[in-house]
C-alpha cells in the first residue's frame, strides 16, 4: 500500500486561517465587514443579475455560492463595478484626505478608462460629460435616479464616521453628484450612510429601522417597502432600496439576508452589494460565511480591508 500519505492528507484536519481579529476595535471590525460584505454580495449577486426569481429556481435552485458565471461570465469570487467603483472612490478619498468631487470624478474617469467588466449607463453618460466639460458635478436630472451612486457610497460613510450629519451630507453629495444628481438617489445615499454609521456605533437594528428607514419613507413615501414583496428590483434606486430593506430587516444574520436578496433576481449584484454592506456593518466580520470569504477574489478582499482601516479615522475620545 503506497497511498497512506494521500489518506492522511485527505483526513488531516484542515487548518483555516483565523478570521477573528481580537485586537480590532468593534468599529473597525464592522467597517471591514461592511467593505468585504459589499464585495461578497456583489460577487454572489452577479451570477444571477437580470434573472427572474423563477429562472434562478429553475437554473440553480437556491443561489448561495460564489460560483461566478452570469451574463458577465465572471470567475468564481470576481466582483463588478459596485465594488471597484467604491474602491476607486476610496482611493481618491485617501489620497485627497477628504471627499472631493473633482478627485472622485478623476478617479471614476480613470476607472472607466481601465475597461471595467460592467458600467451603468448613467455613470458612463455623466463621466463622458465630465471629460468634455471638466465640471465634476453633473446637472440635476430626473433620469439619474439609478442606484449607481448609492452602491459605491461606503467609503464616505467610513471617512465621515463621527462627524456631524451636515458635514457628512455635503460629502455624500460631492461623490454622488459626479454621476447621479437626483433627489431620490441622494435620499438613498443619506439613508445608507447613516445606517452604516449607526451600526458602526453599535446601535440596535429596530431603532435604526424606525429612525433611518422610517425617515426615508416619511419624507419620500415612494420608498415604502412594507407592502408588496419586491422581486426583480431594477437599477431604479427606489426598487433597489425596497428589496434591500425588505431582506435586511426581515432576516437576522448575514447569510440569510444576502441569499434572500440575490434570489429576488433583477439587479442582484447591486442589491447584494448594498445588503452586504449593511449586513457586514450590523453583524461584524465573523458573521460572513467562511466559504464566501475563501472564494472571494483575495486581492479585492485585501484592498477592502486596507481601505476600511485607512478611511476609518480614529475617533477622539
**Interacting residue ranges for Mn ion, rule: CB under 5 A:** 80-82, 118, 267, 269-270
Residue 43 CA to residue 78 CA, distance in Å, equals 6
- 80, 105 in Cβ contact below 8 A? no
Nearest distance from C-beta of residue 46 to Mn ion, angstroms: 6
| Residue among 78, 4, 103 nearest 298 (CA) | 78
Nearest distance from C-beta of residue 153 to Mn ion, angstroms: 14
Per-residue DSSP letter, 178: T
Return the number of the residue (154 or 312) whose C-beta is nearest Mn ion: 154
Return the number of the residue (268 or 281) whose C-beta is nearest Mn ion: 268
Kindly report the backbone phi and psi dihedral angles of residue 221, in degrees, each rounded to the nearest multiple of 5, phi listed first.
-60, -15
- 99, 174 in Cβ contact below 8 A? yes
* Torsion angle, alpha carbons of 109, 33, 50, 295, to 10: 100
Return the number of the residue (82 or 305) whose C-beta is nearest Mn ion: 82
Residue 50 grid cell: 437580470
CB-count exposure of residue 133 (10 Å: 0-12, 13-18, 19+): exposed
Residue 254 CA to residue 260 CA, distance in Å, equals 10
Return the number of the residue (147 or 182) whose C-beta is nearest Mn ion: 147
Cβ neighbours of residue 40 under 8 Å, at least 6 residues apart?
A: 66, 258, 272, 276, 288, 292, 293, 296
Return the number of the residue (82 or 186) whose C-beta is nearest Mn ion: 82
Q: Output the residue with the shortest Cβ distance to Mn ion.
A: 80
Nearest distance from C-beta of residue 80 to Mn ion, angstroms: 3
Nearest distance from C-beta of residue 188 to Mn ion, angstroms: 15
Nearest distance from C-beta of residue 76 to Mn ion, angstroms: 16
Nearest distance from C-beta of residue 269 to Mn ion, angstroms: 4
317 C-beta neighbours (distance < 10 Å), count: 3
Residue 235 grid cell: 437599477
Three-class secondary structure of residue 279 per DSSP: helix
Per-residue DSSP letter, 153: -
| Residue among 263, 239, 240, 267 nearest 251 (CA) | 263
Nearest distance from C-beta of residue 291 to Mn ion, angstroms: 22
Nearest distance from C-beta of residue 49 to Mn ion, angstroms: 6
- Alpha carbons within 13 angstroms on the beta-carbon side of residue 160 total 27
Nearest distance from C-beta of residue 270 to Mn ion, angstroms: 4
Three-class secondary structure of residue 145 per DSSP: coil
Amino acid at each position: 500500500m503506497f497511498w497512506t500519505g494521500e489518506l492522511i492528507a485527505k483526513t488531516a484536519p484542515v487548518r483555516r486561517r483565523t478570521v477573528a481579529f481580537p485586537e480590532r476595535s468593534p468599529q473597525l471590525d464592522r467597517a471591514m465587514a461592511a467593505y468585504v460584505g459589499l464585495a461578497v454580495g456583489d460577487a454572489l449577486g452577479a451570477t444571477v443579475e437580470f434573472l427572474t426569481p423563477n429562472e434562478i429556481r429553475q437554473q440553480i435552485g437556491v443561489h448561495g455560492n460564489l460560483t461566478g458565471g452570469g451574463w458577465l461570465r465572471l470567475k468564481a469570487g470576481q466582483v463588478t463595478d459596485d465594488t471597484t467603483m467604491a474602491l476607486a472612490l476610496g482611493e481618491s478619498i485617501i489620497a485627497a484626505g477628504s471627499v472631493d468631487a473633482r478627485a472622485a470624478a478623476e478617479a471614476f474617469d480613470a476607472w472607466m478608462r481601465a475597461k471595467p467588466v460592467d458600467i451603468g449607463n448613467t455613470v458612463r453618460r455623466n463621466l463622458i460629460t465630465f471629460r468634455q466639460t471638466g465640471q465634476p458635478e453633473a446637472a440635476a436630472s430626473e433620469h439619474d435616479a439609478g442606484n449607481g451612486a448609492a452602491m459605491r457610497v461606503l467609503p464616505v460613510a467610513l471617512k465621515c464616521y463621527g462627524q456631524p450629519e451636515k458635514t457628512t451630507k455635503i460629502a455624500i453629495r460631492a461623490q454622488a453628484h459626479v454621476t447621479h444628481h437626483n433627489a431620490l438617489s441622494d435620499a438613498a445615499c443619506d439613508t445608507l450612510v447613516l445606517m452604516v454609521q449607526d451600526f458602526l456605533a453599535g446601535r440596535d437594528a429596530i431603532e435604526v429601522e424606525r429612525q433611518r428607514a422610517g425617515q426615508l419613507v416619511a419624507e419620500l413615501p415612494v420608498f415604502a417597502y412594507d407592502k408588496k414583496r419586491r422581486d426583480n428590483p431594477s437599477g431604479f434606486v427606489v426598487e433597489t432600496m425596497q428589496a434591500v430593506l425588505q431582506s435586511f430587516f426581515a432576516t437576522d444574520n448575514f447569510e440569510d439576508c444576502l441569499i434572500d436578496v440575490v434570489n429576488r433576481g433583477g439587479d442582484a449584484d447591486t442589491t447584494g452589494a448594498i445588503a452586504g454592506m449593511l449586513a457586514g456593518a450590523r453583524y461584524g466580520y465573523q458573521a460572513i460565511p467562511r466559504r464566501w470569504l475563501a472564494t472571494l477574489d483575495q486581492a479585492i478582499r485585501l484592498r477592502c480591508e486596507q481601505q476600511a482601516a485607512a478611511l476609518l479615522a480614529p475617533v477622539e475620545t
